[in-house]
Amino acid sequence: MTKSHKRWRWYWEDVVEGVLILVALLAAAVVLSSCVTTRMPLEATKPGYGKTITVHVPILVEDAKLDGSLPNGKVTRFLAGPELGDGSQREGQKPLFILRGNATLQDVRLSGADGVHIDSASGKKASVLRAHWDDVGEDAITIAKGAGEVRISDCSFQNASDKVIQVNSSAGVVIAGCRAEEFGTFARGCGTCGDIPYRITIKNLTARHGSCVLRLTNPKARGWIKGGRFTDVKTPAVALNGAKISQK
């Protein structure tokens, strides 16, 4: 082999080696990202808690922000005291938090009773961000009043015997990037509140072991399910009585 042939062979060996390293790196990235987004158990994706507060009377957050962040990436955990309810399927239990107007609840863990109630108002926006339910009570989030906007992002919900998000008013609700494990119905409109025109959008939900993702039962109700990963979910969308759900 001439000197110049040898140089070419080294050149090609280097190129092949480079391509192989690139392919290996890409494969590792794909495996890692799939672990983070789909395979990692929900429990492992939640922030740890550094402090626990038992709530005996609902906490009102009105035109304000309640941020449960603590140092070192930890958050505050809120547990329902017995005065709020026992977290069973009995109706009429009290919430741990009431969000009213332009209110935000963020970076918390919580459990029990009737979760979070939102009194929305036209022209205002309530947000629930990075809130993690260890054990959902009667339900987790209720849009109780008003025709405002509600954003529920990057939250997680475990162990709901029935509903997770309940919409009882004519609000526009966007639920994005959330995770749910063990539930009956993830989000539903009120079945006893008349023909109210609410809108529910569910984007990129990761759901495991549930019966239904979105259930709408009145002719003015509209829903959208965009993206998401559902494992062992019996019927993702149920639209009754002229309600419309679009799925992409």
Q: Quick check: 55 binds ligand ADA (CB under 6 A)? A: no
Cβ-based nearer residue to ligand ADA, 91 or 232: 91
d(CA 211, CA 220): 23
- Exactly one of 120, 158, 168, 185 binds ligand ADA (CB under 6 A); that residue is 168
Query: Are 188 and 164 in contact, with CB atoms under 8 Å apart?
Result: no
* Partner that binds at residue 111, options Ca ion, ligand ADA, none, CB closer than 5 to 8 Å by kind: none
- DSSP E strand stretches across 146-228: 149-153, 156-158, 163-167, 172-176, 179-189, 199-203, 206-216, 222-226
Residues 6 or more apart whose CB falls under 8 angstroms from that of 60 comprise 97, 98, 100
Burial (CB < 10 A; 0-12, 13-18, 19+), residue 60, is middle
Q: Quick check: 240 binds ligand ADA (CB under 6 A)? A: no
Distances (CA, A) of 33 to 43, 112, 156, 205, 232: 17, 32, 19, 16, 22
Size of the site for ligand ADA (CB under 6 A): 9
Beta bridge pairs of residue 206: 179, 229
Cβ-based nearer residue to Ca ion, 141 or 233: 141
Enumerate residues 84-123 that contact ligand ADA by CB under 6 A: 91
Q: Quick check: 218 binds ligand ADA (CB under 6 A)? A: no
* Partner that binds at residue 181, options ligand ADA, Ca ion, none, CB closer than 5 to 8 Å by kind: none
Site string for Ca ion, 105-144 (x = CB under 5 A): ---------x-----------------------xx-----
Structure tokens at 68: 């449960």
Provide the residue type at 141 as one letter: I
Q: Quick check: 221 binds ligand ADA (CB under 6 A)? A: no
Cβ-based nearer residue to Ca ion, 134 or 138: 138
**Which of 214, 204, 219 has the alpha carbon at shortest distance from 234?**
214
CB of 68 to Ca ion, least distance (A): 22
Interaction site with Ca ion (CB under 5 A): 114, 138-139
Please report, as ranges, the residues that interact with ligand ADA according to CB under 6 A: 91, 138-139, 142, 166, 168, 190-192
